Every structure is written in C-alpha cells, then in structure tokens.
Chain A
Amino acid sequence: MSAPLASRRVANLAPLLDPSHADWERHAATRIALAPTPLGLQPTPYVRNTWKDRPYGALLALDVASVHDGRGWALRASWEGVSAPGDFPDALAIALPLAGRPVLATMGSAEAPIHYLRWRADREAVSSQIAHGIGSSAAGPPIAAHAAARAAGTRWQLVVSRPLGAPHGAAALQAGVSTQIGFAVWCGGNDERAGIKAFSIDWLELALDA
C-alpha cells in the first residue's frame, strides 16, 4: 500500500468546491494507480464474452487531492479522458467502507457493505449508493453530496464534496481519523459501465487532518 492520501484541513472549503480554483495548486495531488476490473469478476457470461477481447479500464492514473474544513470534505480528482456524449457517460465513483472489512474488487458483501458516491458526466447530482456485492448497488443514504466537474481539454477535473460525520448512515469521515478509500473510473466513450471500468485495485488510506 502506498502512502496515505492526506485530507488537509482548510479554513474555508467553499472556494475549493470549484475544481479549477487556484487554491487546489497548494494541495499536492497523489497519483493513484488504476487497473481494469478483472474479467473473471464480471457477473454475467454475456459481459465476459463481450469484453474478453476488448480493452477497457485503460486509465492508469488518477490524480487525487483532498481537503476538509471540519464540517465538509472535498476531493478533487483529475484524469485523462473526456468522452464525446454518447450512450454512456464518463463517470467516477468514490468508495468508502461502511462496515466491516469489505473487499473493494467485489464491491463489498452482505456483512461488509461499501458506500459509493458516484458522479457521472451527464448529471449534476452525485448519487449515493450502497453495495453489498457485485451488481447489488442500491440507493444509499440521502447524504448531501455535490460535484462540480470541468472538462479541461482532454482532462476531467472534478470536485466531489460531502459533509463530515456519518449523516443518515453514510460512511463515516471524521477530522483526525483515518479511513479507507477506493476509486473507480468509467470511460463512457468506450462504452464502459457497470463492472467495465478502471479501479484502484485496493483500498488506500485516507488520513483526515485533525
């Protein structure tokens, strides 16, 4: 496991909700390695047969920085690959363990669910979802999550934000407490959706400043 992803404390989160705000330059991004989800973990023969000879999840690196102000938390992600509008949107999901020790690659389990915040390029809202395994995601806690995205040439710049704490049963984020975080990225232009995506392979440590 690489060095923890630090979430620095800032006085005021508001300006940093803009992904192109200059203040983000003050927070060094961590480069996170991604890999395609294993074909064998795709849940149906159709999906496996269709994608066995077709590249997907080709994004190798996701640059991530994070801050919080004691009340709200924000994560800025940027990566290469802005797709033209098509059947499927570019998308990114942030995974946080909700209970137990879920396996990221299998999207958790009945005892160890994962809380996802999922952004997609064709919607303004961030959806909050809970997964108890592959293909099981369902509506999650109604947390006030927001996203702001900007396509800078061929590169996405995205800020996802949510309150600290564990409102409505969301995965907990607390100042001064470390947790785990994972990522998944879908390239819509390559018809990536569902389990066809790039993901962070395993959890990273997310360390929130006190």
Chain B
Amino acid sequence: MSTRQVAMVMDLNKCLGCQTCTVACKTLWTRREGMGHMLWNTVNTQPGTGTPHGWETMGGGFADGEARPGHRPALDEYGRDWAFNHQDVFFGGDSKERLVPNGGAYGKGANHDEDTGAGEYPNSYYFYLPRICNHCTHPACLEACPRQAIGKREEDGIVLVDEGRCKGYRFCQEACPYKKIYFNEEEGVAQKCIFCFPRIDQGVTTACSRQCPGRVRFVGYLDDPAGPIHKLVNVHQVALPLHAEYGTQPNVYYVPPLSPPKLDPDGNPTDEPRIPTEYLVSLFGARVHEVLAKLEAERARVRDGGESELMDLLISRKWLDMFGPFTRHPREAQPVHFHPKRQPT
C-alpha cells in the first residue's frame, strides 16, 4: 500500500470518442522503436471487443483473492503498427498505386469497432469507454512479476514497470485483467501507462487529462477532501470502478453514461434508457442504478432552478478545478534533470 493514491475519474457522459487523449499519450510517450503498436490510452466503443480485442474475456486479476491465469494478448489483438506506402503512391510512377497499409493485410486496428455497439435500429446503443492503466491498489501485474520489476510508488501509488529490471517475461501482461500492458519487442521490456509521472512530479496533470477537449478526466488524490476525486468517488459516490470483480482495486473511476430512451414497437419513447442498465452493471457494478438515478435527479434539481454541488463538479466551469493539485502549466515545468540552461518561460 502506498501512502497516498492518485486517481482518475472519467465522466462517460462527456466523452466524445475523439481520441485526443490517445494522441496526447502517443505523441508524448510511445514513439520509441518497438512502441509503434502501443496505445497506453485507448478509447473504445462499448459494447464491443475493445483493445486488445476481447480483453474482457482474457482473464487475469484475482478470483476469490487468488491470482487468476490470463491470456497474453498478441500483436494482432492489440492492432499492429502499420506500414504505409505514401512514397510509392506519390512518387512511384504508377498512377494506379493506392495508399494501403501493410499491402492490405492489416488486420483489425485498435478502434476497429468504432461507433458500432449493439442492439437493433432504432434501439441500437453505444458509448465510449476510455481506458488507461488503472494503477491498481492491488496490482495483478506487480504481484505476478517474478523479477519484482513492477513497483507502486510510495508517494502516489503510480504503478511503474522498472524497465531496468524487466526481462520481458510478460507475466504481467497475462496477469493484468485490463490488458493495459504492452510489450516492446525491440527493447525486450513491458511498457504501459506511467500516469505521466514526470509531469505529476512537476505538479502538471497527465497529458490525457489536460488535453481532453471533452473535459472528461478528473485527476487528484483519493484522500484529498478539497479535490474532485474524493468528492466524486467518496462524497457523491457517482464514480465507479470498471470490473471491480477483477479484484485489483483499480484507481480509475467512471461516471456511467445516461442514454436516450428506448422506443417501443410503435416508435414512441419509453421510460427505459436504451443502454440496458444491466449491461452497465456488468461493467461498473450494481451501484449503476443508484448513480444514474442520482444524475437525473440532480439535473432535474438544477433545471428547476436549484443548486447542485454534484452538477457543478461535473461541469467544472473552471477547467483547472478538474486536476486537484496538478494545475501547473506544462510549459512552466521542465524535468529537473535536463537542460538546466534552457528557458523557463
């Protein structure tokens, strides 16, 4: 157990599925060799197979407290890094050359089932589920590693792979029930979301949260009574862990999605949300019922002219209020180890 725990709340009612978070993470962290296929942050359409495809059926985590065997995802399940033929298309001298990755044998990308979901028109439904490493309180990856190469930082509970110790045994990939660990073939080590520790160490929130145009992600310490995480998770209790039954005590929490009503066979609206609540329960647990009711009740209160601290929190009129103590502007920070001569602006 760490002394403190940083956590994230993602409000699925605000997620746009735009993947700016994914891009923010990708351009900052996973551009080294061997990282081409990595998306430490993903956003997938639910219901769907997610990334890696079918991750919810891949095992890992804990059952009755016992480490549960899991599948080690293959590159094709994550979606490969594709090679494109721009040069041939533009300069190859063949007007029929077409831009196609991997000669057409590209398999399924990470977001292969974008905007598909389930159900039948006009009662089909879907929503977006962004995911990062859950920086679990009981990390299955950490406990699986025979090398003790995975650590949980004392000061904030960020779970990190020590790439100096890692030998690439990949038990962590099997053990993580969320399948948020990638393997770098070039470097021979496991790599995953680092919760932007170089930024956090400088008081700057994570790239995925700060760059999220939908203002989906709250960041802070779970035990900080002034911060948004504590309020959403512990006080208002509207943010729920994903697949808590996996037993790892994840530290990313989700505000479950509302949805427009189902239509009856005559095309008239019913009182039932089109996302089956039982499906949401399967992801976020039984408290979904209560949370959805609370969100609607608080909306109604505001609509009637009342005040709601919960709605104010979820709106976050001042954007920086979303990030607890991590409100420093990134351009004012600079990792201390480097470039002492260079500008602080």
The minimal Cβ–Cβ distance linking B317 to chain A, given in whole angstroms, is 45
Q: A194 and B169: CB pair below 8 A?
A: yes
Q: A47 and B144: CB pair below 8 A?
A: yes
Give the interface segment out of A16-24, A38-46, A169-177: A38-46
By beta carbon, the residue of chain B nearest A195 is B146
Interface SS of chain A: helix, strand, loop or mixed?
Answer: loop
The minimal Cβ–Cβ distance linking A5 to chain B, given in whole angstroms, is 28
Complex CA distance for A178 and B68, rounded to whole angstroms: 46
Most buried by B among A43, A137, A195: A43
Residues of A within 8 A of B203 (CB): none
Residues of A within 8 A of B146 (CB): 42-44, 47, 134-135, 194-195
Complex CA distance for A194 and B70, rounded to whole angstroms: 17
By beta carbon, the residue of chain B nearest A49 is B67
The minimal Cβ–Cβ distance linking B83 to chain A, given in whole angstroms, is 20
The minimal Cβ–Cβ distance linking B185 to chain A, given in whole angstroms, is 9
Residue in A42, A46, A87 whose beta carbon sits within 8 Å of that of B140 in the complex: A46
The minimal Cβ–Cβ distance linking B113 to chain A, given in whole angstroms, is 25
Residues of B within 8 A of A146 (CB): none
Complex CA distance for A135 and B72, rounded to whole angstroms: 20
Q: B68 and A44: CB pair below 8 A?
A: no
The minimal Cβ–Cβ distance linking A163 to chain B, given in whole angstroms, is 26
Complex CA distance for A108 and B306, rounded to whole angstroms: 69
Asked if A193 is an interface residue, CB under 8 A from chain B, the answer is yes
Complex CA distance for A150 and B145, rounded to whole angstroms: 32
Complex CA distance for A88 and B72, rounded to whole angstroms: 12
Q: A44 and B144: CB pair below 8 A?
A: yes
Residue in B69, B72, B167 whose beta carbon sits within 8 Å of that of A87 in the complex: B72
Residue in B68, B72, B171, B183 whose beta carbon sits within 8 Å of that of A47 in the complex: B171
Size bin of chain B's contact surface: 20 to 34
Asked if B147 is an interface residue, CB under 8 A from chain A, the answer is yes
Asked if A50 is an interface residue, CB under 8 A from chain B, the answer is yes
Asked if B282 is an interface residue, CB under 8 A from chain A, the answer is no
Residue in B67, B148, B169, B175 whose beta carbon sits within 8 Å of that of A193 in the complex: B169
Asked if B245 is an interface residue, CB under 8 A from chain A, the answer is no
Q: Which of A64-120 contact B (CB under 8 A)?
A: 87-88
Q: B170 and A87: CB pair below 8 A?
A: yes
Asked if B321 is an interface residue, CB under 8 A from chain A, the answer is no
Q: B147 and A46: CB pair below 8 A?
A: no
Residues of A within 8 A of B156 (CB): none
Residues of B within 8 A of A49 (CB): 66-69
How many chain-A residues does the 8 Å CB contact rule pick out? 17
Asked if B11 is an interface residue, CB under 8 A from chain A, the answer is no
Complex CA distance for A121 and B66, rounded to whole angstroms: 34
Residues of A within 8 A of B167 (CB): 137, 193-194
Residue in B69, B147, B148, B168 whose beta carbon sits within 8 Å of that of A50 in the complex: B69
The minimal Cβ–Cβ distance linking B165 to chain A, given in whole angstroms, is 8
Q: Which of A34-67 contact B (CB under 8 A)?
A: 42-47, 49-50
The minimal Cβ–Cβ distance linking A196 to chain B, given in whole angstroms, is 9
Complex CA distance for A49 and B60, rounded to whole angstroms: 11
Q: B170 and A46: CB pair below 8 A?
A: no
Residue in B168, B170, B171 whose beta carbon sits within 8 Å of that of A44 in the complex: B171
Residues of B within 8 A of A45 (CB): 66-67, 143-144
Residues of A within 8 A of B67 (CB): 44-46, 49-50
Complex CA distance for A44 and B146, rounded to whole angstroms: 6
Residues of B within 8 A of A193 (CB): 167-170
The minimal Cβ–Cβ distance linking A132 to chain B, given in whole angstroms, is 13
Complex CA distance for A139 and B183, rounded to whole angstroms: 21
Residue in A87, A88, A135, A191 whose beta carbon sits within 8 Å of that of B147 in the complex: A135
Complex CA distance for A42 and B170, rounded to whole angstroms: 15
By beta carbon, the residue of chain A nearest B149 is A135
Complex CA distance for A98 and B44, rounded to whole angstroms: 52
Q: B148 and A46: CB pair below 8 A?
A: no
Complex CA distance for A193 and B175, rounded to whole angstroms: 15
The minimal Cβ–Cβ distance linking B193 to chain A, given in whole angstroms, is 20
Residues of A within 8 A of B170 (CB): 87-88, 193
Residues of A within 8 A of B72 (CB): 87, 191
Give me the interface of B with A, judged by CB distance under 8 Å.
Answer: 66-70, 72, 140, 143-148, 167-171, 174-175, 183
Can you give 30 contacting A-B residue pairs, CB < 8 Å?
A43-B146, A44-B67, A44-B143, A44-B144, A44-B145, A44-B171, A45-B66, A45-B67, A46-B67, A46-B143, A46-B144, A46-B174, A46-B175, A47-B146, A49-B66, A49-B67, A49-B68, A50-B67, A50-B69, A50-B70, A50-B174, A87-B170, A87-B183, A88-B170, A134-B146, A135-B147, A137-B167, A193-B170, A194-B146, A195-B146
Give me the interface of A with B, judged by CB distance under 8 Å.
Answer: 42-47, 49-50, 87-88, 134-135, 137, 191, 193-195
**What 15 additional pairs, Cβ within 8 angstroms, besides A45-B144, A49-B69, A135-B148?**
A44-B143, A44-B144, A45-B143, A46-B69, A46-B174, A49-B66, A49-B67, A49-B68, A50-B70, A50-B174, A135-B146, A193-B168, A194-B147, A194-B169, A194-B171
User: Which 9 A-B pairs give the minimum distances between C-beta atoms?
Assistant: A46-B144, A46-B67, A50-B69, A43-B146, A194-B169, A45-B67, A135-B146, A194-B146, A46-B175
